[in-house]
């Protein structure tokens, strides 16, 4: 005999292959297995979950089993008899319902804290650039900064629309075109507002505009860690300043290194993402991407909200300086607290959305859901204000020569934090136009009162912030207290 087919040349087989196992006596003499048992195994889950044999009969008929086939294969007269036999054979066992799908509003706190840190780290550039700027000139700095905030907020919205459709390459192309355009626009605004002897401030403002565009692209595409690595020269230089002074050249090199790293990283990420194959997200129907005109119109409220929020933060830190109050100092800790608080604020926005959806599932009446939504709102807003107040006290203790956090200053800070958080909440639910209108109106009122010299800057800031916070809270309660606003 020839060897087994699996035997390689040179192999030796010392024993014969094992013979097939013989059936035992019972299997030889007993009847053949009932085909009903095999059918019961195949349809076990369906039969176990049935509450009446007729359900099983309907499944058998939908499976194409005719009465003739049932009589020949299973020895029962029809589908109803076979269904009754299966119903008796399989014990009842209703399966547990599948768990609800994971909500997209569950995210880690660490990532949100990292984003808040990334929002605040560029402020260290001001400490390194202080000798380079000499006497900072506010007009070019404010013109470039505010223009950049407005543009990048609108650009981020347009990119997020494409990300929501699962088209990351389109989002990257949007950012690759929008970031340079925003840098040019901010630079143009800086040049227009630059006076004699204000060149260093204008150069710093233009560099800041370039950084904002690149950093926005990285943040929108979720590359926070890459941006953190690019910013490491800033805290490193600041740590050295705590021990000894740095030469002007070293300061300039640290700033240039951070800016260049951010630009190169953003360019590499945008190129790789823009040339990747898109993976469409599952959507119920094709969703058209707005054209250029419609897209600009849809993004304009987001840009205005970013502009108004930036001006409110500036007024919080520089309100007394703008008004020319004798001996006024910059309330830097307030601005730093509001910036660092953006990270926890984003996380709390997601917590609100998840809590509101939980209330939507548990509530049985519109009134019950409205109460649940207001309760979640109160918890999240309170947590945000507690974090904001804690940050303000901590930064004030660490900031040399910082003004004390008196009652009015602290209350204004918390009210501005309320305005920003509720405005972001409305923006997340698609009510950005209302949020932008309230924030921009508050800015115009505060600027008008400051120009007219009506009241002290502290009192004006407190009253205007309180009015804006009350208006936005009312809008949140009215708009988000409806169940239809929380549809996934």
> pLDDT grade, residue 98 (50/70/90)?
low
Q: Which of 92-106, 191-205, 331-345, 400-414 has the lowest mean pLDDT?
A: 92-106
Is the confidence at residue 295, as pLDDT, over 80? no
3-state DSSP of the chain:
CCCCCCCCCCCCCCCCCCCCCCCCHHHHHCCCCCHHHHHHHHCHHHHHHCCCHHHHHHHHHHCCCCHHHHHHHHCCCCHHHHHHHHHHHCCCCCCCCCCCCCCCCCCCHHHHHHHHHHHHHHHHHHHHHHHHHCCCCHHHHHHHHHHHHHHHHHHHHHHHHHHHCCCHHHHHHHHHHHHHHHHHHHHHHHHHCCCCCCHHHHHHHHHHHHHHHHHHHHHHCCCHHHHHHHHCHHHHHHHHHCCCCCCHHHHHHHHHHHHHHHHHHHHHHHHHHHCCCCCCCCCCCCCCCCCHHHHHHHHHHHHHHHHHHHHHHHHHHHHHHHCCCCCCCCCHHHHHHHHHCHHHHHHHHHHHHHHHHHHHHHCCCHHHHHHHHHHHHHHHHHHHHHHHHHHHHHHHHHCCCCCCCCHHHHHHHHHHHHHHHHHHHHHHCCCHHHHHHHHHHHHHHHHHHHHHCCCCHHHHHHHHHHHHHHHHHHHHHHHHCCHHHHCC
One domain for residues 115 and 247: yes
CA distance 115 to 228: 9
Distances (CA, A) of 105 to 78, 109, 171, 323: 52, 12, 21, 43
292 found inside a domain: no
Convert the pLDDT of each residue in 434-477 to its tens digit. 999 999 999 999 989 888 888 788 899 999 999 999 999 999 99
Closest by CA position to 213, among listed 251, 185, 254: 185
440 found inside a domain: yes
One domain for residues 254 and 190: yes
17 found inside a domain: no
One domain for residues 308 and 399: yes
One domain for residues 46 and 160: no
One domain for residues 393 and 424: yes
- pLDDT at residue number 179: 95
The domain total for the chain is 3
Q: Which of 286-300, 407-421, 424-438, 462-476 has the lowest mean pLDDT?
A: 286-300
One domain for residues 272 and 324: no
Q: What is the rounded average pLDDT of the residues 28-42?
A: 70
Place of tokens 């009465």: 67
- The answer to whether 144 touches 255, Cβ cutoff 8 Å, is no
- pLDDT at residue number 268: 96
One domain for residues 207 and 83: no
Convert the pLDDT of each residue in 219-265 to its tens digit. 999 999 999 999 999 999 989 988 899 999 999 999 999 999 999 99
Query: Regarding predicted confidence, which is higher, 375 or 13?
Result: 375
> pLDDT grade, residue 120 (50/70/90)?
confident
> pLDDT grade, residue 488 (50/70/90)?
low
Q: What is the rounded average pLDDT of the residues 73-98?
A: 81
351 found inside a domain: yes
> pTM, whole model, 2 decimals?
0.71
309 found inside a domain: yes
Query: Regarding predicted confidence, which is higher, 485 or 305?
Result: 305
483 found inside a domain: yes
21 found inside a domain: no
CA distance 68 to 276: 57
**Phi (first) and psi of residue 16, to 5 degrees:** -75, 150
Is the confidence at residue 480, as pLDDT, over 80? yes
Give how far the C-alpha of residue 189 lies from the chain's centroid of Cα atoms, to the nearest Å: 30
> pLDDT grade, residue 390 (50/70/90)?
very high
CB atoms within 10 A of CB 261: 18
- pLDDT at residue number 484: 77
The residue out of 229, 247, 280 marking a domain boundary is 280
- pLDDT at residue number 413: 93
One domain for residues 317 and 417: yes
One domain for residues 308 and 441: yes
CA distance 247 to 241: 10
244: containing domain: 111-280
Is the confidence at residue 369, as pLDDT, over 90? no
The residue out of 280, 308, 334 marking a domain boundary is 280
One domain for residues 372 and 228: no
One domain for residues 318 and 353: yes
- pLDDT at residue number 400: 74
Rg of the chain in Å (alpha carbons) = 34
- pLDDT at residue number 103: 47
Q: What is the rounded average pLDDT of the residues 161-171?
A: 89
One domain for residues 84 and 227: no
For the stretch 220-223, contacts whose Cβ atoms lie closer than 8 Å and that sit 24 or more positions apart, written own/partner, are: 220/156, 220/159, 220/160, 220/163, 220/171, 220/175, 221/168, 221/171, 221/172, 221/175, 221/269, 221/270, 221/273, 223/265, 223/269
Convert the pLDDT of each residue in 171-197 to its tens digit. 999 999 999 999 999 999 999 999 998
Per the prediction, the chain carries an average pLDDT of 83
- pLDDT at residue number 292: 55
291 found inside a domain: no
Q: What is the rounded average pLDDT of the residues 294-313?
A: 86
């Amino acid at each position: 005999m020839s060897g087994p087919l699996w035997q390689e040349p040179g192999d030796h087989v010392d024993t014969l292959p094992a013979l097939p196992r013989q059936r035992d006596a019972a299997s030889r003499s007993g009847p053949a297995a009932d085909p009903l048992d095999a059918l019961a195994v195949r349809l076990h889950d369906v039969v176990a979950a049935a509450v009446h044999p007729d359900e099983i009969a309907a499944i058998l008929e939908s499976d194409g089993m005719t009465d003739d086939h049932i009589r020949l294969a299973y020895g029962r007269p029809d589908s109803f008899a076979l269904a009754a036999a299966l119903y008796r054979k399989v014990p009842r066992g209703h399966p547990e319902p599948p768990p609800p799908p994971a909500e997209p509003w569950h995210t880690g706190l660490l990532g949100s804290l990292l984003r808040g840190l990334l929002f605040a780290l560029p402020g260290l550039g001001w400490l390194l650039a202080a000798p380079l700027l000499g006497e900072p000139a506010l007009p070019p700095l404010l013109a470039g900064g505010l223009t950049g905030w407005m543009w990048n907020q609108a650009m981020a919205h347009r990119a997020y629309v494409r990300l929501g459709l699962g088209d990351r390459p389109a989002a990257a192309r949007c950012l690759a075109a929008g970031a340079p355009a925003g840098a040019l626009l901010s630079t143009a605004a800086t040049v227009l507002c630059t006076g004699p002897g204000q060149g260093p401030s204008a150069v710093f403002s233009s560099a800041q505009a370039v950084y904002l565009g690149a950093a926005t692209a990285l943040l929108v595409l979720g590359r926070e860690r890459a941006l953190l690595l690019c910013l490491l020269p800033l805290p490193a230089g600041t740590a050295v300043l705590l021990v000894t002074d740095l030469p002007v050249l070293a300061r300039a090199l640290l700033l240039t290194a951070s800016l260049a790293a951010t630009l190169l990283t953003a360019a590499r990420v945008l190129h790789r993402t823009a040339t990747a194959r898109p993976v469409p997200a599952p959507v119920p129907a094709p969703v058209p991407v707005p054209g250029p005109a419609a897209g600009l119109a849809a993004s304009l409220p987001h840009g205005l909200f970013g502009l108004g929020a930036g001006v409110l933060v500036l007024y919080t830190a520089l309100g007394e300086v703008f008004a020319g109050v004798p001996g006024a100092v910059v309330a830097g800790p307030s601005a730093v607290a509001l910036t660092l608080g953006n990270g926890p604020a984003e996380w709390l926005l997601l917590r609100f959305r998840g809590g509101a959806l939980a209330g939507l599932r548990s509530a049985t009446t519109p009134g019950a859901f409205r109460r649940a939504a207001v309760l979640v709102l109160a918890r999240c807003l309170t947590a945000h204000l507690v974090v904001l107040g804690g940050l303000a006290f901590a930064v004030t203790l660490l900031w040399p020569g910082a003004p004390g956090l008196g009652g009015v200053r602290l209350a204004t800070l918390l009210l501005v934090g309320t305005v920003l958080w509720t405005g972001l909440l409305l923006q997340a639910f698609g009510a950005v136009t209302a949020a932008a209108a309230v924030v921009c109106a508050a800015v115009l009122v505060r600027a008008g009162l400051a120009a007219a010299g009506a009241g002290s800057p502290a009192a004006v800031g407190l009253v205007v912030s309180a009015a804006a916070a009350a208006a936005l809270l009312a809008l949140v309660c009215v708009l988000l207290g409806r169940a239809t606003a929380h549809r996934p």
